[in-house]
Every structure is written in structure tokens, then in C-alpha cells.
Amino acid sequence: MEEKLYRLAVVLAIASLILYPIMGWANGHLDFGVLLGVGGAALVMAVFYAGRYVITGRLRAK
């Protein structure tokens, strides 16, 4: 299960890195699109790792 969630997080992060700059370039703000893409990818991975830490911490506490 964890491996599937990790793959989903990686796919979402890559999609963020690709799609946000394209949307920013289409609107004439490539720099803002790149910042959103990198920030979005970092946020997706941070939420995944934080969630994994919380879940494994709760399992160890039992």
C-alpha cells in the first residue's frame, strides 16, 4: 500500500513540475509557473513523508 501511495505522490509531483510551468508560460508568467511547479512538487512530497511518519509512529505506539 505504501509503495502505491509513494508512486502516486511521485506522479503528482512530476505532473506539478510539468503542468504549472506550461500554464504559466501560456499566461505570460513563466517564472511564476516554475515557482508554483517546484512548490507544488515539494508540498506533495512533504505531505507524503509527513503522513508516512505519522502513520508509522502510531503503529509503533500500539
pLDDT, one tens digit per residue, over 32-46 is 899 999 999 999 999
Predicted model pTM: 0.74
Q: Is 1 helix (H, G, I), strand (E, B) or coil?
A: coil
pLDDT, one tens digit per residue, over 4-59 is 888 889 999 999 999 999 999 999 999 989 999 999 999 999 998 888 888 777 65
Q: CA 39, 45, 46 angle in degrees (round to 5)?
A: 85
| Helix 30-61, helix 2-26: angle, nearest 10 | 160
Residue at grid coordinates 507524503: 48
Backbone φ and ψ for 26, nearest 5 degrees, come out as: -65, -30
Domain boundary assignment for the chain: 2-61
What's 28's DSSP letter? T
- Taking 80 as the threshold, does the pLDDT of residue 2 lie above it? no
